[in-house]
């Protein structure tokens, strides 16, 4: 039959496995074998004979080599530390410099934008003032004052718009008086605000 060879191989494998199980060393005998092996190592160690004593010259040479190797290792570590420090410093400087340049560029851009907004509001205010559109002129001058709050001449133009509106159109008189009192307090030495109040708001 065709399966006879396979059955025979299986039987052979089982027999071999049984032999291996029978040949396994019991756990107690394993301990005995380890103890014997340990004793043999101990006896071999005792049998070793110490070598000859090193001469002082050889010892000095060994110390010299050890110191030389330690010095070389130390120099290598110092060199690597210095190189690392230089690299980190260069990176830090580059990043810091780039940050400062970007900040400066942003600041200049912001200043340019503010200057453009100031001039635009001032020109619009002057144009409205020439057309005697006091309310719109005052609004533009007030926008310009956000960029130059301590500009005396600009504050005068702004106050004059409210004075004109009160005098000519009888509008915003309360606001004109409030603005004038604020400016007299802010600029006590400026005579132009005193004259402006006398000329336009003395009867209010």
Higher-confidence position of 18 and 128: 128
39 vs 45, 46, 83, 189, CA distance in Å? Answer: 10, 11, 56, 112
201 DSSP 8-state letter: S
Q: Is residue 22 over pLDDT 70?
A: no
Q: What is the pLDDT of residue 94?
A: 82
Q: pLDDT-derived band of residue 1, with 50, 70 and 90 as boundaries?
A: very low
What topology is assigned to 114-200 in CATH? 1.25.40
CA 161 vs. chain centroid, Å, equals: 50
CA 120 to CA 60: how far, in whole Å?
88
What is the number of other CB atoms lying within 10 angstroms of the CB of residue 179? 21
172 DSSP 8-state letter: S
Threshold 0.85, pTM exceeds: no
Helix (H) or strand (E) holding 126: helix 56-130
Helix (H), strand (E) counts: the chain: 7, 0
Q: Is residue 75 over pLDDT 70?
A: yes
Q: Which of 128, 121, 134 is nearest to 170 (CA)?
A: 134
Q: Is residue 44 over pLDDT 70?
A: no
Name the range with the highest mean pLDDT among 14-18, 35-39, 102-106, 198-202: 198-202
Q: What is the pLDDT of residue 128?
A: 95
Q: Write b or e for each residue in 132-170: b if 16 or more Cβ atoms lie within 10 A of its Cβ, otherwise e.
A: ebbeebbbbbebbbeeeeebeebbbbbbbbbbbbbbeee
Mean pLDDT of the chain: 82
What residue has token string 């399966």?
3
The percent of residues in the chain predicted with pLDDT above 70, rounded, is: 77
């Amino acid at each position: 039959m065709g399966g006879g060879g396979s059955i025979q191989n299986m039987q052979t494998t089982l027999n071999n496995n049984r032999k291996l199980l029978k040949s396994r060393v019991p756990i107690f005998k394993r301990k005995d074998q380890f103890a014997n092996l340990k004793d043999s190592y101990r006896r071999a160690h005792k049998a070793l004979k110490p070598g000859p004593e090193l001469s002082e010259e050889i010892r000095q040479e060994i110390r010299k080599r050890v110191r030389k190797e330690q010095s070389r290792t130390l120099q290598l570590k110092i060199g690597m530390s210095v190189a690392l420090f230089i690299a980190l410093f260069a990176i830090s400087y580059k990043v810091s410099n780039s940050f400062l340049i970007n900040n400066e560029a942003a600041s200049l851009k912001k200043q340019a934008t503010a200057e453009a907004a100031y001039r635009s509001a001032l020109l619009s205010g002057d144009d409205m003032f020439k057309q005697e559109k006091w309310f719109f002129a005052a609004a533009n001058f007030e926008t310009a004052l956000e960029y130059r709050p301590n500009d005396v001449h600009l504050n005068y133009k702004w106050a004059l718009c409210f004075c004109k509106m009160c005098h000519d159109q009888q509008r915003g008189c309360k606001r004109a008086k409030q603005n004038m009192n604020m400016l007299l307090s802010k600029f006590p030495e400026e005579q132009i605000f005193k004259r402006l109040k006398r000329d336009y708001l003395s009867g209010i």
